[in-house]
């Protein structure tokens, strides 16, 4: 049976968007493709409030995270960890042999500007990685404030942001905040099928990349730049997904960006209020995510059984991530889901568990 996805990726994809992929194939060196990329790129720049470059990679987000750390540093990278996904960026940095250290806060806590300041004050680092929205704990880091600190006190430090579960659901002002790399796969808040990653890159980051030897090829900004102005990509792009992205961006802009950010906040509030009433929230209340809520399983229910019952009713939520399995469960409220969808889901859960 078809299940509506209330999981933090892949998210529910509307039929219209699925259909938007089903158009005749075009050659990626043909004018039709250049027209497509030329059409979609300014829409993405609008979404990210940026006038700098936005690349499209045929890759999941993890690949683009790898490419980003390979091009970011001639000194050392500081990885800011607050959960499983921000930890992954540390693993990726180490696995690529890029010198790095990590600062880590307990799960459910945010990375703060103060902690970043303390680490950067050693003067060893020229790039930081930070997750905007930590999907494993349901927490949004104060990236705007972290970026303000870095831009003011450490102008040479690049800010790399994993915005995978936030971009297109949370307002990110790439230029005004002074970010350098901000990436997201489209299977989360963009509500598209997986396989494509959007990545904004500052002129400062492109300049840095040129100074880093052996910074790779597939994700390299200088390689991407050989085709960027011709509205192409060096390797074959995910054409069908970009067709769908172009349609989806029209819908996102038609909804209105402020309305989209507000819809995510509205959905989050409903889930948070419900979680407070019947369970508890996992993460620091000051940093709760507008796109995914991690609920503490204070009632000791079987999350697996709950999800099996939900499946019979056509819905799916997520278990806790990693060691939080069965101790927590996660409800995603991202992408094209609506307040009505969320209310329906919570009614189903209340009915199954005999709550309310
Ligand atoms: C889903 C997710 C990822 C991994 O994305 P892929 O597209 O599967 O590579 C990375 N970071 C965060 C915060 C995520 O939510």
Task: Please give the distance, rounded to the nearest whole angstrom, from the Cα atom of residue 122 to the centre of ligand 1.
Answer: 30
> What pTM value is reported for the model?
0.98
What sign for the dihedral angle of Cα 287, 288, 294, 296? positive
* CA 188 / ligand 1 centre spacing (Å): 9
pLDDT tens by residue, 5-14: 999 999 999 9
- 138 cis-preceded (ω within 30 degrees of 0): no
CA nearest to 197, candidates 160, 232, 242, 230: 242
Q: Is 289 among the domain residues?
A: yes
| 61 within ligand 1 shell (Cβ under 6 A) | yes
Whether residue 180 sits in one domain with residue 37: yes
On whether both 159 and 119 belong to a single domain, the answer is yes
pLDDT in tens, 183-194: 999 999 999 999
Final residue belonging to a domain, choices 244, 269, 288: 244
Confidence at residue 356, expressed as pLDDT on a 0 to 100 scale: 79
- CA pair distance 5, 334, nearest whole angstrom: 10
- Domain identity same for 163 and 186: yes
Supply φ then ψ for residue 329, to 5 degrees.
-140, 155
Q: For ligand 1, is residue 336 a contact (CB within 6 Å)? A: no
Helix count and strand count (H, E) for the chain: 13, 15
Atom of ligand 1 nearest to the CA of 194: 7
26: which residues sit within 8 A by CB, 6+ positions away? Answer: 32, 33, 36, 239
d(CA 144, CA 89): 19
> How does pLDDT run across 105-134, given as a tens digit for each residue?
999 999 999 999 999 999 999 999 999 999
Q: Is the pLDDT of residue 233 over 90?
A: yes
d(CA 194, CA 295): 26
Q: Tokens for 122?
A: 């050693």
Domain boundary among 244, 277, 295: 244
Same domain (yes/no): 45, 119: yes
Scored b (16 or more CB within 10 A) or e, 172-204 reads: bebeebbbbbbbbbbbbbbbbbbbbbbbbbbeb
User: 163 C-alpha to center of ligand 1: Å?
Assistant: 8
User: 159 in ligand 1 pocket by Cβ < 6 Å?
Assistant: no
The mean predicted confidence, pLDDT, of the chain is 98
**pLDDT (0 to 100) of residue 159:** 98
Q: Rounded distance, CA 279 to CA 273, Å?
A: 10
Contact 192, 186 (CB under 8 A): yes
Query: Which residue range is the domain that position 206 belongs to?
Result: 24-244
| Residues 236, 313 within the same domain | no
Q: In the predicted model, is pLDDT for residue 169 greater than 80?
A: yes
């Amino acid at each position: 049976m078809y299940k509506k996805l209330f999981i933090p990726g892949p998210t529910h994809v509307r039929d219209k968007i699925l259909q938007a992929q089903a158009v005749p194939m075009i050659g990626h060196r043909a004018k039709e493709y250049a027209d497509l990329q030329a059409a979609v790129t300014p829409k993405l720049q609008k979404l990210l409030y940026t006038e700098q470059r936005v690349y499209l990679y045929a890759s999941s987000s993890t690949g683009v995270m790898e490419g980003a750390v390979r091009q970011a540093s001639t000194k050392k990278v500081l990885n800011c960890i607050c959960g499983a996904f921000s930890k992954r960026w540390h693993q990726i940095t180490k696995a690529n042999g890029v010198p790095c250290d990590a600062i880590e806060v307990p799960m459910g806590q945010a990375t703060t500007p103060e902690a970043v300041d303390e680490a950067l004050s050693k003067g060893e680092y020229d790039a930081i990685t930070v997750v905007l929205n930590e999907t494993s704990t349901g927490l949004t880091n104060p990236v705007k404030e972290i970026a303000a600190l870095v831009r003011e006190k450490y102008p040479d430090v690049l800010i790399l942001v994993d915005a995978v579960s936030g971009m297109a659901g949370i307002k990110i002002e790439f230029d005004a905040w002074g970010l350098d790399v901000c990436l997201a796969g489209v299977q989360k808040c963009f509500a598209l099928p997986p396989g494509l990653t959007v990545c904004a890159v500052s002129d400062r980051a492109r300049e840095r990349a040129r100074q880093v030897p052996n910074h790779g090829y597939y994700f390299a900004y200088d390689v991407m730049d050989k085709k960027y102005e011709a509205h192409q990509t060096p390797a074959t792009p995910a054409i069908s997904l970009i067709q769908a992205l172009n349609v989806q961006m029209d819908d996102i802009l038609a909804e209105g960006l402020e309305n989209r950010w507000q819809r995510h906040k509205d959905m989050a509030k409903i889930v948070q209020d419900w979680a407070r009433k019947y369970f508890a929230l996992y993460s620091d209340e000051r940093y709760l995510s507008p796109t995914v809520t991690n609920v503490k399983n204070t009632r000791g229910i079987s999350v697996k059984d709950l999800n099996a019952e939900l499946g019979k009713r056509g819905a799916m939520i997520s278990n806790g991530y990693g060691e939080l399995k069965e101790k927590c469960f996660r409800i995603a409220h991202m992408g094209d889901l609506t307040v009505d969808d969320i209310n329906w889901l919570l009614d189903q859960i209340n009915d199954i568990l005999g709550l309310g």
